[in-house]
Amino acid sequence: MSLVSFVKVNHTNHDQLKQAIVDSLNLIHYRPPSKLENIVIKPNMCYYWDYSTGQTTDPRLVAALIEILREKTSPEIGISIVESDASAMKCKYAFKFLGYEKLSQKYNVRLVNLSEDKSDPVEVTAGGQSFSFMVPRIIQNADLKINVTKIKYSLQKIKITCALKNIFGCNPYPKKFRYHPKIDEAIVAINKAMKFDLCIVDGNIVSGIQPCRLGLVMASRDPVAVDVAAAKIAGENPNRIRFIRLASVEGLGKTSFISKGVPIGYFQARYPRKNAQKKLMSKAYNIVTSIGLGKRLGLE
Amino acid sequence: MKKIGLGIIGLGYIGKVHLRNSLKLTDANLVAVSDISKRSLNEAKKDGAKKTYTSYEKLLKDPQVDAVVIALPTHLHFECAKRAAEAKKHILLEKPIARNVAEAEEIVSAAQRNAVRLMIGYPLRFNKVMIPVKEQIKSGFLGDVEVAHAINVGSGPFYHRAQDYAPSPVPEWWFKKELTGGGALIDLGSHMINLFRWYFGEITDIKSHLGYRFNLDLEDHAICIAQFESGTTGVINVGWFSQKYQVKVELFGTVEHVIASNIPPNRMIAAAQMLIMNNSTFWQPHVAELGYFVNCIANDIQPSPSGKDGLKDLEAIESAYKNPIQLNS
């Protein structure tokens, strides 16, 4: 079974975030490979919402991770932070507005817009569906790929966003909404095309029915186990989330895991969960927009 | 009585609001719309626009158009408003009047030279909760208003946009100072400065503190302190940094205090209103604003807020930019 660590962050400052990452990695017995030349970090960026909304990875946590990686490997190690353009988000602005441009200057790390980077086509299937993705060279050539993601509710039928969904953002094709009719299969397929080595979850601020300072850092090598844990924390049944089940069937990881650190119940009790009214509203929104009434009702 | 022939130039976010509202007017006909997006023009045609043009120059040559609503990005106001005035079309120009005072002066002077009416789009002036405040000041109910706060905080250009279920990016001109003339202060501050000038008279001094949370080249929030000729000191707080929208004024008089807040209806109520009325109460001030503009044209009345108001608002904003309050972080 996979190991998933749960560490509590008491105060949001650089030292505590750094210590929380170190502890979370120690709990899963993670050591970076000794011979590394280049590392890719994929934070979660979503539109231009800043970290305080719980929607995007806190650049301070990424900064702490960069320091740890350089301390454990070499101060000269090449590190790239990657993201791609999306339907409503331009990478160049997201990097700037969300604080990654400053981080890049301070820590001498590269910011890479995957939509503009060289990439190669890859055919991949998941759940009986075939996909053709462009896989960026920087991801193909990285010695270590780290997924630094969030836990948040998703308006779409996928219910939650965490490790597996974040890799969807490595797809260089900007109009990602076009995958929405087959979103579960697309998420799994892209994770098959681009396998990441390590997941770190920035659960310091999470986005439930409202943002909440949950003070959590999670780590695992297994993205499926991370998503199962995230679903449980968010009050969703992981067995009813199709992309998680499919990812497990497709061999991306295991749905059972061994917890290390703070008991998961501590975070489950504090996550700002949907109540019955919110669940109903969410269903109504999905129905209204799916039948094309969203614009008529001023929801789009 | 002849109906006023209306043309709408620009079918972005606010242009579409004007399009929807113009179709409700009884004393005006929506004659034509113009935009560079063929998709927006096709949608406008479906909504009821009779003629569509891909260039505003062609719309301005249309003899059936008596007046235009200019809802273009700020950097295009100068050229478009001047040409509209030269084509003898009355103008409702979205705020801010222009990127800078020099352009604004030209626009005002072009309107005067060509004897056309020029109104600036400030919907708060037509807001049902903001109008009674003016009456309370005028009647003496509040006593002397010593201090007034204005708040206009929201997500500004970061408002999440979508077209036919597909999310669409923020138009990039929003992030270029040379195209906008500034950030939250010129965008949202212009609303509040105009409202306070209406309440308290001209500004005699103004200073500003600007904030840059999102690392933009232009400010994403601003706090201004302004002295008005009435003796009121105004604190104007505007920002693009919040997902929560709030527009509010708080007036502290020697006798009474008053708070007026423009609260959008919750999404369920707004959706129900859209379904029944094809509009929501949130857009009531825009409906009233357009109706007032048409009425001014029909009756040959100088609209208020006028072009000169827009110019004075911009003079105050430029002055605020030039007089920074530095705080140590």
Measured between CA atoms, the residue of chain B closest to residue A211 is B243
- Residues B165, A300: C-beta atoms closer than 8 Å: yes
pLDDT of residue A294: 65
Residue from B243, B281, B283 whose CB has the most chain A CBs within 10 Å, to mutate? B243
Mean pLDDT of all residues in A62-68: 98
Decide if pLDDT at A228 tops 70.
yes
Crossing angle of helices B131-139 and B190-200, in 10° steps, is: 30
Q: Which two tokens stand for residue A31?
A: 């050591």
The rounded mean pLDDT for chain B is 94
Instruction: Please give the model's pTM, rounded to 2 decimal places.
Output: 0.90
Phi/psi for A123 (5° steps) reads -95, 135
- Residues A47, B280: C-beta atoms closer than 8 Å: no
Q: List the CATH number of the domain containing A252.
A: 3.40.50
Q: Which domain holds residue A111?
A: 2-296
Polymer length of chain A: 300
User: Tokens 């186990």 belong to which residue?
Assistant: A225
Strand partners, B116: none
B162 pLDDT band, cuts 50/70/90, is low
Comparing A79-88, A268-277, B196-205, B206-215, which segment has the lowest mean pLDDT?
A: A268-277
- Residues B165, A90: C-beta atoms closer than 8 Å: no
Residues of chain B with CATH 3.40.50.720: 4-120
pLDDT of residue A297: 63
Residues 6 or more apart whose CB falls under 8 angstroms from that of B170 comprise: A48, A88, A93, B157, B158, B161
- Residues A177, B167: C-beta atoms closer than 8 Å: yes
Instruction: Count how many domains chain A has.
Output: 1
The CATH-assigned architecture of domain B125-322 is 2-Layer Sandwich (3.30)
B266 pLDDT band, cuts 50/70/90, is confident
Domain at B4-120, CATH homologous superfamily: NAD(P)-binding Rossmann-like Domain (3.40.50.720)
> Do B125 and B194 meet the contact criterion of CB atoms below 8 Å apart?
yes
User: pLDDT tens digit string along B285-297?
Assistant: 999 999 999 999 9
Task: Please state, in angstroms and rounded to a whole number, the distance separating the CA atoms of residues A252 and B114.
Answer: 71
Q: Rounded to the nearest 5 degrees, what angle is found at the Cα of A224, between the Cα atoms of A219 and A227?
A: 70
Chain B residues within an 8 Å CB radius of A283: none
Residues of chain B with CATH 3.30.360.10: 125-322
- Residues A296, B280: C-beta atoms closer than 8 Å: no
pLDDT of residue B166: 63
The share of chain A scoring above pLDDT 90, in percent, equals 81
Task: Please state, in angstroms and rounded to a whole number, the distance separating the CA atoms of residues A284 and A290.
Answer: 10
Q: Which of B163, B168, B180, B172 is nearest to B74 (CA)?
A: B180
User: pLDDT tens digit string along A148-205?
Assistant: 999 998 866 788 999 999 999 999 998 888 888 899 999 999 999 999 999 999 999 9
3-class secondary-structure state, position B238: strand
Across the interface, of B166, B267, B268, the residue whose CB is closest to A87 is: B166
User: pLDDT tens digit string along B105-149?
Assistant: 999 999 999 999 999 999 999 999 999 999 999 999 999 999 999
What is the distance of C-alpha A72 from the center of its chain? 23
User: pLDDT tens digit string along A195-217?
Assistant: 999 999 999 999 988 899 999 99
Specify the amino acid at residue B201. G
Across the interface, of A53, A101, A300, the residue whose CB is closest to B215 is: A101
Across the interface, of A99, A292, A299, the residue whose CB is closest to B267 is: A299
pLDDT of residue A113: 98
- Residues B214, A298: C-beta atoms closer than 8 Å: no
> Do B249 and B195 meet the contact criterion of CB atoms below 8 Å apart?
yes
